[in-house]
Chain A
């Protein structure tokens, strides 16, 4: 066993609302969970796409925002001390000889668990790639979708595309160390924090950055080294911007990702499950929430909650086949109340 191996009862892939509620239902049955998510925080779509948007169809909440729903779920599952692993994508789920699973992330961690629950919604969030010819060739070295090491940008000709907070924050942070800094955005309105926008305009007025209204036209360079970006300006002209590093910031989009390679039966990019246990075609691997498919499926958060409850009963039977499972209510069971820390 290496130091990177973690053993647990259940690995939950995806820390959106349904993954979070699964911790609760599994917790009531004494199953411990580790959650893995590609985002840097819990909440999934609720956190990434619509934290401020109202949701009106959560039972008993006439209105609740994506962020409030996430916060409430985190509070609800606190008694079960789930462990979160963010900024990671699960690459492999392998069945071992003893029937349990080995789950490997892109950061090289290994999780060992008898149960895997896929609650990955629409898949993993990935940066949007501009549809520019040959951009893949430059990715990694010259084209990056996030800044991991600022040093990679020192003395480089940097071009940032976009008009949100990521674009402007990195523009302001990297400008002092870059050889040159250019910003390209499709319009003269920015959805970033007003203070950042003001600072960017000041830098542009002082001639310390270049700002072009337009879009990326084409890329020029050799191998993975970018040297020039042709901008299609709003007025129809073309502008050549010498560039050695490009940062496109167009937000995130969901891709099914490696899930497709785990040997599970799929139905049009969704994972087939039964409606008794929400188990996939591989025993011990469950799929709940938006990522699963069964006849009549509705992609609602409340459906995912229901699926989590039934899945948990089935998971418990796999882990402890000889235990007698007594169905209990949190309102009346002192046992459950103890687990929740309220008695």
Chain B
């Protein structure tokens, strides 16, 4: 299954993900720059991505915990999500996200 990631310079990358992996882990595993400083514990908000509008509704809604962390993103958008909270699955094959500047290391 694939995810399509647009980086900070607007370049798109097609990344192969594995079932159950966090989108954050896939992005980092492919060597794209992402701070993700807490390592996936939903505790830092530095793995923020903008989810493509067509995919927003297909994701599980953000938990209260994730919303609390998004409060720490000064310029969070309506389609901002923490990529450590999105798990890869068949249904998300083709998911499109854009790295948010806040995630840059």
B102 in contact (CB, < 8 A): yes
Chain A contact surface mostly: loop
Within residues 141 to 191 of chain A, which ones have a CB less than 8 A from any CB in chain B?
A: 161-164, 185-187, 189, 191
Chain B: number of interface residues, binned into ranges: 20 to 34
- Interface membership of chain B positions 59-88, coded 1 if the CB is closer than 8 angstroms to chain A and 0 otherwise: 000000001101111111000000000000
Task: Say whether A250 contacts B72, CB under 8 Å.
Answer: yes
CA distance A216 to B73 in the complex (A): 11
On chain B, the residues within 8 Å of A164 by CB distance are 71-72
Which among B44, B67, B75 is the interface contact of A253 at CB below 8 angstroms? B44
Task: Say whether B102 contacts A162, CB under 8 Å.
Answer: no
CA distance A164 to B44 in the complex (A): 14
On chain B, the residues within 8 Å of A131 by CB distance are 74-75, 101-102
Q: Check A251/B72 contact, CB under 8 A, given A131-B102, A187-B67.
A: yes
On chain B, the residues within 8 Å of A162 by CB distance are 71
Task: Say whether B43 contacts A186, CB under 8 Å.
Answer: no
Task: Say whether A53 contacts B43, CB under 8 Å.
Answer: yes
On chain B, the residues within 8 Å of A253 by CB distance are 35, 37, 44, 46
On chain A, the residues within 8 Å of B105 by CB distance are 269
CA distance A186 to B101 in the complex (A): 18
On chain A, the residues within 8 Å of B67 by CB distance are 187, 189
A122 in contact (CB, < 8 A): yes
Give how many A-B residue pairs fall within 8 Å (CB-CB): 56
Task: Say whether B44 contacts A49, CB under 8 Å.
Answer: yes
Chain B contact surface mostly: loop
Q: Check A248/B38 contact, CB under 8 A, given A131-B102, A189-B67, A191-B68.
A: no
On chain A, the residues within 8 Å of B49 by CB distance are none
Within residues 238 to 283 of chain A, which ones have a CB less than 8 A from any CB in chain B?
A: 248, 250-251, 253-254, 269
B23 in contact (CB, < 8 A): no
Task: Say whether B35 contacts A50, CB under 8 Å.
Answer: no
On chain B, the residues within 8 Å of A216 by CB distance are 74
B5 in contact (CB, < 8 A): no
Task: Say whether B71 contacts A49, CB under 8 Å.
Answer: no
Which among A50, A161, A187, A189 is the interface contact of B38 at CB below 8 angstroms? A50
Which among A49, A250, A254, A299 is the interface contact of B41 at CB below 8 angstroms? A49
A215 in contact (CB, < 8 A): yes
Task: Say whether A50 contacts B41, CB under 8 Å.
Answer: yes
Query: Which residue of chain B has the shortest Cβ distance to A55 in the bound complex?
Result: B41
On chain B, the residues within 8 Å of A108 by CB distance are none
A128 in contact (CB, < 8 A): yes
The CB with the most chain B CB atoms within 10 A, among A129, A191, A216, A299, is that of A191
Other A-B pairs beyond A122-B37, A132-B74, A164-B72, 14, CB < 8 Å:
A50-B38, A50-B43, A53-B41, A130-B75, A131-B101, A185-B71, A186-B71, A186-B76, A215-B76, A216-B74, A250-B71, A250-B73, A251-B44, A251-B45
Binding site for A on B (CB under 8 A): 35, 37-39, 41, 43-46, 67-68, 70-76, 101-102, 105
Q: Could you name 12 residue pairs across A and B whose Cβ atoms are closer than 8 Å? A: A49-B44, A50-B43, A122-B37, A128-B74, A161-B74, A185-B71, A186-B70, A189-B67, A191-B71, A215-B76, A216-B74, A251-B44
